[in-house]
Structure 1
Amino acid sequence: MLGLNEEEERAYRLLVRAHETDAEGLADELGTTTEAAAATLAGMRGAGLAREVTAGRYAPVAPELALGPRLAHNQERLDRARQTVALLADEHRAGLRRRDADHLIEVLPSRAALREQVRRLQDGAREEVLAFCRAGHVVMPSQDNTEELEALGRGVAYRVIYEQALLEEPGMVANVAYGIKLGEQSRAVRTLPVRMMIYDRAVALLPLVQHAGGLTETTAALVRDSSLLDALIALFEAQWERATPIRSPEEGQVTDALQRCPLDSDELYLLSLLVAGVPEKTIASQLGLSLRTVQRRVYHLMRLAGAQTRMQLAWHAARERWL
């Protein structure tokens, strides 16, 4: 790998061990003629592997000086080769996408295949996962998505938009709060157009049939780098901008606006659920409170905001950037 042939490598190793030798001594060690050994030593001297200390006697040049530059040169060549392979691979994938749509969109024919891809892609995510979560699970309940918890633990960012009806399902408010505590950024909208997950902005996964019957197997699409993927990312960002942030009591995020906010963390959480459209009755049941207690806390929020209606409360919270 350093550009030495077998005889040069043996001769250099022997020279390093002996520290100093002549052609006759090297010939005895290599089992060759004195003339051949002398030629080898002369070649090693020319290659910077050996130096002549006295007439006819040679010592090795230190390995870091003799072989270090060769190693650095080979590393540069290897790096250039890797870059070339990466460019060729990009060109190859681009050609496949132009000529064969199967390499752009892969159809997953079953619920089991979709579940496996959700698991594999989250396990392989390195930077960011974007998700639309609609009511009524297709593959698994949100509580069973343990891969998200592991990904959050290794530093993958999650931005998730929840459909209002999903937040009304039993256990979801607590589940979302736990995800936020671990680092998930959560927002809510009244309705979402599609279920979807996007991994590292490189691949998207979404069901192709929104309302399959009980006897119909789920079919999904795996969309790779393309203009279609760019459109799905733009769709997510547009929904993210209009969605309402959900703040958990354990979130612990402090901004200038929150520092000026008169609400404590529990009140902010209640306010974010109200603005997201979750009914007071659902909030009460999921938080283990009575409806009267929730209504009393909502009235307290309205009094702090100087609002007469819940709509005015939401408007005031938006104007003051409480959420």
Structure 2
Amino acid sequence: MLETVGLSAAETDVYRALLAAVTAAAREVSATTGLEEATTQRLLVALEEKGLARGVEGSPGRFAANPPYVTLLPRLERRADDLDKARAAVADLMETYRRSAWTRGAGEVIELVTGAAALRQRLEQVQEGARHELLWFCKAQYVAMPSGTNQAEFDALARGVGYRVLYEQAFFNDSGAVDNVVRAVRDGEIARAVPTLPLRMAIADRRLAICPLAPAGPAGNPHEVTAAVIRGSSLVEALVALFERYWEVGVPLRVTEEGRIGETGLRADSASLTPEDQHLLSLMVAGLTDESIAGQLGVSKRTVQRRIQGMMNLAGVATRMQLGWQAARRNWI
């Protein structure tokens, strides 16, 4: 019972007998405990070394027990402190295990990939393993895969994998970007453009996403590039929803026979619009409601809606947000 404070069962029996006898020799304790006298003598010496017994002065061979509150309680308190520390250490280990086990049990939900070369390899592997669709956010500049070097996309397009790609406006300022997008669209990529994107991202079959975590482009250290690989989870679902939200407002990019991108099939410039149309556009972009615009122009609300729809048809867009961006892009206002 006292093993916790460092006493064996035999030592405990001898100490208990010594407490009851006040003082005793090995022979007397042996008779009480049933242990051999030689063994009892050895145990009494051990108790003396541990501070639980002492030799009786003037009586060689006799021993007296030291009080338990002097000898055992301090040991017990020290053991209690050690136990608390051990319990805290075990709790910390359990928390580490829980986090690790949760990640592994969820199919390694989030994995970090470090280095531009490793990220480029992972992007290629993801595309090679895709079966249905790739969704992309393409921001200006690159962190691992320069524009025009993604041969895995063309291989995937050739075997029937769909690509929907959103480009931010500044992307087309990169050298060779326009020609590369033209080639991809001609091979089957469905492309749209938006003024800006919040992050770089690729999603394969709506079950795996790769998000480079580096804000900068190729000017940064390629060995410091880090990306999160996120597997089937609510986080992937949220990223898909984010993509679809931006896709809704993106301007479709079509390629003409001459290889021009950004055209909608209908050529339009500011000369195609009347001053009234340009005024209406400026009011719409400013956020006025159709009713307020009608009041400003002195026309009916229905007329405002009809003229806005006409400009949307002219620009080849499906939403007013897209029309506003196209109007700014084409200098209509």
TM-score by length of 1: 0.52
- The corresponding residue for 2:67 is none
- Residues 190 and 311 of structure 1: CA distance in aligned 2, closer, same or farther (over 3 Å): farther
- Residues 317 and 125 of structure 1: CA distance in aligned 2, closer, same or farther (over 3 Å): farther
What SS does structure 2 have at the residue aligned with 1:174? helix
- Residues 105 and 170 of structure 1: CA distance in aligned 2, closer, same or farther (over 3 Å): same
Deviation at 1:320, TM superposition (A): 4.6
Say which one has the larger Rg.
Answer: 2
- The corresponding residue for 1:195 is 200
Q: Which residue among 316, 319, 322 is the counterpart of 1:322?
A: 316
- Residues 102 and 111 of structure 1: CA distance in aligned 2, closer, same or farther (over 3 Å): farther
Task: Give a deviation string over 1:176-209, Cα, whole Å, max 9, x none.
Answer: 1111111101011111000000001110001123
Q: Which amino acid aligns with 1:234?
A: A
- The corresponding residue for 1:218 is 225
- Residues 270 and 118 of structure 1: CA distance in aligned 2, closer, same or farther (over 3 Å): closer
What SS does structure 1 have at the residue aligned with 2:254? coil
Q: Is the counterpart of residue 150 in structure 1 residue 155 in structure 2?
A: yes
What SS does structure 2 have at the residue aligned with 1:136? coil
What SS does structure 1 have at the residue aligned with 2:143? coil
Number of positions where the alignment pairs a residue of Structure 1 with one of Structure 2:
190
Identity of aligned residues (%): 40
Task: Give a deviation string over 1:101-131, Cα, whole Å, max 9, x none.
Answer: 6711011122221111111111111110000
What SS does structure 1 have at the residue aligned with 2:202? strand
- The corresponding residue for 2:131 is 126
Would the aligned equivalents of 1:302 and 1:310 in 2 still touch at CA under 8 Å?
A: no
Q: Is the counterpart of residue 241 in structure 1 residue 248 in structure 2?
A: yes
- Paired with 1:270 and 1:310, the residues of 2 have a C-alpha distance of 24
- Residues 123 and 98 of structure 1: CA distance in aligned 2, closer, same or farther (over 3 Å): closer
- The corresponding residue for 1:50 is none
- Residues 161 and 119 of structure 1: CA distance in aligned 2, closer, same or farther (over 3 Å): same
Would the aligned equivalents of 2:253 and 2:262 in 1 still touch at CA under 8 Å?
A: no
- Paired with 1:248 and 1:310, the residues of 2 have a C-alpha distance of 30
Deviation at 1:100, TM superposition (A): 4.9
RMSD: 3.4
Q: Is the counterpart of residue 136 in structure 1 residue 141 in structure 2?
A: yes
Would the aligned equivalents of 2:115 and 2:225 in 1 still touch at CA under 8 Å?
A: yes
Would the aligned equivalents of 1:130 and 1:236 in 2 still touch at CA under 8 Å?
A: yes
- Paired with 1:97 and 1:305, the residues of 2 have a C-alpha distance of 60
Q: Which residue among 113, 126, 143 is the counterpart of 1:108?
A: 113
- Paired with 1:135 and 1:270, the residues of 2 have a C-alpha distance of 16
Q: Is the counterpart of residue 231 in structure 1 residue 238 in structure 2?
A: yes
Q: Which amino acid aligns with 1:170?
A: S
Would the aligned equivalents of 2:107 and 2:231 in 1 still touch at CA under 8 Å?
A: no
What SS does structure 2 have at the residue aligned with 1:103? coil
Would the aligned equivalents of 2:264 and 2:316 in 1 still touch at CA under 8 Å?
A: no
What SS does structure 1 have at the residue aligned with 2:210? strand
What SS does structure 2 have at the residue aligned with 1:114? helix
- Paired with 1:204 and 1:248, the residues of 2 have a C-alpha distance of 28
- Paired with 1:170 and 1:245, the residues of 2 have a C-alpha distance of 21
What SS does structure 2 have at the residue aligned with 1:231? helix
Would the aligned equivalents of 2:103 and 2:110 in 1 still touch at CA under 8 Å?
A: no
Would the aligned equivalents of 1:209 and 1:220 in 2 still touch at CA under 8 Å?
A: yes
Query: Could you list the runs of 4 or more consecutive aligned residues of structure 1 that deviate by over 2 angstroms after TM superposition?
Result: 96-102, 211-216, 269-273, 300-317, 319-323
TM-score by length of 2: 0.50
- Residues 156 and 129 of structure 1: CA distance in aligned 2, closer, same or farther (over 3 Å): same
- Paired with 2:279 and 2:224, the residues of 1 have a C-alpha distance of 43
What SS does structure 1 have at the residue aligned with 2:167? strand
